[in-house]
């Protein structure tokens, strides 16, 4: 008989590690949302790995669960308590709820004679007994609901093609999922090469293996090797190959001229692309049969779209270019690479060979970016696509407003999936309570292993973090200058940049807000206009067209028809885009001499390539002028000037963004550019939560705060996680509202 008063069940055992956790999972599967199900223990420890494994066999995921104390349970929230202890002393529950006792032997054992198979058998028997007991309760809560299907591999692992590309907006988990997929394939006995095309890759930190521009075996994963396409190393190797093609006896001056010609950003791009094309074409280090699968961990979307378009761009350029010349010089021998580029294009376009895995989070912005990427890749001929929604969160504390808000935002985003993604085959990966660093965590990410034991929290560290409004106050005091907002993709650079631009306008300044990010979300973030705020974008296509027109008007004006045709041919090289973008960036930097410019930069790797171009131009300019020439000021010099430029590093309080921000800081300092401050975005600690999964992630946040407080940042500003994303001028203005002393400067 159905009991209308049975709305909440609590399962109790001693450690809340095995029996009560399995009971919670099995009960939720049976009763869906008709009954609230909880579990706890008198001496909580951690969820037993065998419990996780045995539940996974039934299609139930315990990897994100954490052991809880019975003291944390609100007695008023429980209608029925079920104790599952046998020989032990059962936990005491002080509420007035009805009670049942199921004496089920603890499947956990410290008997050294019991091997893994015997332990799994014990846990399976306990799970079966719990399931039978739950069946007796079905009548009290109505008919049982259908059980979920048995656990299965994510779709992108069910029938994997030889090449797997993981791409998406920065911060969505591309690297974690690519690494987890590569490990899963290697664990299944495949020979796998995991390749990073991101100049700012942190695969070495995740895998605990060094990165190199040659394949390096991952010792703890037989069959898996990892490779990083390092742009700098690739460029140097490319220069060496070009110089080696020059005839013996070529004068040193001519060799030096060619080396200088090959020192720019376009050389870096073509060299990195040449490495990428070799992997796809099966040349060099991927000789036929060397690898069963090549998994690409790509840079954020804009950079990746550029990379994946290059096979078509270079193949088209070389098809009509008989001279083999380009911005890399007549000795580059690019014509010799034509067959490789064509083979790379064929591999990318073959759905039996290549799969693009579009990674997103349950958030409108990365979903819309994934939709645009899907459409652009289809236009390039990459039609075999899958969608992965990563970090899907389900609240376990209905009384936690932060948890409820996060779950609702994700649910609404998935319900409003863009049309370009609706018909794609889809996988969902739940939010995990652990950082995806280390092999156990990467295996657990896809439910293929137990969750790693949580690291000790360590002593609390006080971080002298100031609000964003204070940052806007201090920037306004400069009067003018360049504010560069940098960091890993997905950390909220655009939000921070837009908020600071609005804050400077609030304080009486005219501001030019622009971006170097190919994804260009600045206008979407503002979602409106503000007097005194000019919004721009360094659009690669627009800048390239303008640059070509300028060169034809200047260098081409006195050329004959043949000379002009040859000049135009070279300008149609894909390298021209890099040169054009650098020139646009230089104009923006120069503008900051007399006004405020807030620059929302591209994700780390793309920005580092732009900094490389800035450094190359600086070296070229100073080399030509000589040390004794005064009045030559390059863009790099202006970036190095602390009275003109403020570099802000934005991070999330998570291990990967903090590590990448620290690495970016080191790269900038080597270039003579010293970051002025860090901004920690989406702080859970600043928002407050009691949800167990979010609490587990909060421990990770505390560890990252300790890293930042330990010397990474001289100044730190913080923005808490917000239940409503700050979209629109008014929402952004609220983040940086002037202090009371400056309140008169505020605008509506």
| Contacts of 20 by beta carbon, 8 Å cutoff, 6+ apart | 11, 12, 13, 39, 40, 41, 84
105 is catalytic: no
Please count the CA atoms within 13 angstroms of the CA of 116 that sit on its side-chain side. 4
Q: Which one is catalytic: 41, 168, 170, 173?
A: 173
Q: Judge whether 599 and 482 are in contact, CB under 8 Å.
A: yes
Set 170, 171, 449, 487: catalytic member = 171
Residues 357, 359: Cα–Cα separation, whole Å: 6
Q: For this structure, is 544 an active site residue?
A: no
- Sorted by sequence, the CB contacts under 8 Å of residue 383 that are 6+ apart come out as 351, 377
Only one residue has tokens 């460029």, namely: 235
- Among 68, 169, 174, 493, the one annotated catalytic: 174
Cα(587)–Cα(411) distance, integer angstroms: 43
Q: Is 656 a catalytic residue?
A: yes
Give the alpha-carbon dihedral of 666, 671, 674, 678, to 10 degrees.
-50
Which residue is catalytic, options 79, 106, 198, 473? 198
Which residues in 42-128 belong to E strands, given as ranges? 80-83, 98-101
Q: What is the SS3 string spanning 467-523? A: EHHHHHHHHHCCCCEEEEEECCCCCCHHHHHHHHHHHHHHCCCCEEEEECCCCCCHH
Is residue 174 among the annotated active site residues? yes
How far the first Cα of the chain sits from its last, in Å, is 62
| Residue among 190, 213, 189, 192 at smallest CA distance from 201 | 213
**CA separation for the pair 188, 719 (Å, rounded):** 43
Q: Centre a 10 Å sphere on the Cβ of residue 108 and count the other Cβ atoms it contains.
A: 17
- The DSSP result for 157-217, as a single string, is HHS--SEEEEE-STTSSHHHHHHHHHHHHHHTT--EEEEE--TT--HHHHHTS---SS-EE
Q: Are 9 and 37 in contact (CB under 8 A)?
A: yes
Q: Where are the beta strands (DSSP E) in 549-621?
A: 596-600
Q: Is 603:200 a contact under the CB 8 Å cutoff?
A: yes
Cβ atoms of 551 and 572 within 8 Å: the answer is no
CB 310 within 8 A of CB 318: no
Q: What count of other Cβ atoms lies within 10 Å of the Cβ of residue 590? A: 14
550 is catalytic: no
Active site amino acids: 171, 173-176, 198, 656
């Amino acid at each position: 008989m159905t009991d209308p008063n049975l709305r909440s069940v609590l399962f109790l055992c001693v450690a809340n590690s095995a029996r009560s956790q399995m009971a919670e999972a099995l009960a939720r599967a049976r009763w869906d949302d008709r009954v609230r199900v909880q579990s706890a223990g008198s001496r909580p420890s951690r969820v037993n790995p065998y419990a996780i494994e045995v539940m996974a066999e039934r299609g139930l995921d315990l990897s994100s669960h954490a052991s809880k104390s019975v003291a944390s349970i609100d007695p008023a929230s429980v209608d029925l308590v079920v104790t599952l202890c046998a020989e032990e002393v059962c936990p005491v529950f002080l509420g007035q709820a009805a009670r049942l006792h199921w004496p089920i032997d603890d499947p956990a054992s410290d008997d050294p004679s019991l091997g893994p198979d015997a332990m799994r058998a014990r846990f399976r028997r306990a799970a079966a007994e719990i399931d039978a007991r739950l069946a007796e309760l079905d009548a009290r809560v109505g008919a049982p609901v259908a059980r979920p299907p048995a656990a299965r591999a994510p779709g992108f692992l069910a029938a994997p093609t030889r090449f797997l590309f993981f791409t998406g907006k920065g911060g969505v988990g591309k690297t974690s999922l690519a690494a987890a997929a590569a490990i899963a394939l290697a664990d299944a006995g495949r020979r796998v090469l995991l390749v990073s095309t991101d100049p700012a890759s942190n695969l070495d930190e995740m895998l605990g293996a060094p990165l190199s521009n040659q394949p390096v075996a991952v010792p703890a994963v037989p069959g898996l090797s990892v490779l990083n396409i390092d742009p700098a190393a690739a460029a140097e190797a490319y220069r060496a190959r070009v110089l080696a093609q020059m005839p013996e006896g070529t004068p040193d001056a001519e060799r030096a001229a060619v080396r200088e010609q090959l020192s720019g950003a376009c050389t870096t791009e073509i060299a990195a692309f040449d490495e990428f094309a070799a992997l796809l074409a099966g040349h060099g280090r991927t000789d036929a049969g060397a690898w069963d699968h090549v998994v690409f961990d790509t840079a954020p979307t804009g950079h990746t779209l550029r990379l994946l378009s290059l096979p078509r761009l270079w193949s088209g350029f070389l098809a009509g270019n008989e001279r083999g010349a380009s911005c890399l010089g007549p000795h580059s021998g690019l014509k010799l690479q034509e067959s490789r580029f064509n083979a790379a294009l064929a591999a990318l376009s073959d759905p039996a060979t290549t799969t693009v895995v579009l990674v997103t989070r349950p958030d409108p912005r990365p979903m819309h970016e994934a939709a645009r990427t899907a459409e652009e890749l289809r236009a390039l001929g990459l039609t075999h696509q899958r969608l992965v929604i990563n970090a899907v969160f389900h609240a376990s504390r209905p009384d936690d407003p932060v948890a409820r808000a996060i779950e609702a935002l994700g649910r609404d985003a998935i319900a409003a999936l863009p049309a370009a993604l609706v018909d794609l085959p889809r996988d969902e990966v739940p939010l995990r309570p652990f950082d995806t660093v280390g092999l156990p965590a990467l295996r657990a990410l896809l439910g293929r292993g137990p969750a790693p034991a949580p690291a000790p929290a360590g002593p609390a560290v006080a971080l002298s973090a100031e609000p964003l409004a204070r940052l806007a106050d201090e920037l306004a005091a400069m009067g003018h200058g360049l504010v560069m907002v940098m960091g890993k993709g997905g950390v909220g650079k655009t939000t921070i940049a837009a908020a600071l631009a609005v804050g400077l306008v609030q304080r009486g300044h005219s501001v030019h807000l622009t971006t170097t990010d190919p994804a260009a979300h600045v206008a979407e973030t503002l979602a409106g206009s503000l007097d005194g705020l000019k919004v721009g974008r360094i659009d690669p296509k627009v800048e390239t067209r303008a640059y070509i027109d300028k060169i034809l008007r200047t260098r081409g004006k006195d050329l004959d028809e043949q000379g002009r045709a040859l000049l135009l041919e070279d300008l149609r090289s894909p390298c021209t885009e890099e040169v054009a973008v650098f020139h646009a960036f230089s104009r923006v930097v120069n503008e900051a001499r007399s006004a405020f410019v807030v620059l929302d930069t591209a994700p780390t790797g793309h920005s580092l390539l732009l900094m490389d171009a800035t450094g190359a131009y600086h070296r070229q300019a100073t080399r030509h002028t000589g040390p004794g020439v005064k009045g030559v000021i390059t863009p790099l010099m202006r970036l190095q000037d602390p009275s003109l430029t403020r570099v802000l590093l934005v991070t999330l309080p998570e291990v990967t963004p903090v590590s990448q921000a620290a690495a970016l800081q080191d790269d900038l300092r080597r270039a003579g550019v010293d970051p002025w401050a860090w901004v920690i975005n989406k702080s859970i600690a600043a928002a407050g939560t009691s949800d167990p999964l979010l609490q587990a992630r909060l421990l990770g946040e505390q560890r990252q705060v300790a890293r930042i407080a330990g010397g990474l940042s001289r100044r730190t500003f913080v923005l808490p996680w917000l239940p409503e994303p700050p979209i629109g001028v008014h929402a952004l203005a609220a983040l940086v509202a002037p202090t009371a002393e400056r309140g008169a400067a505020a605008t509506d």
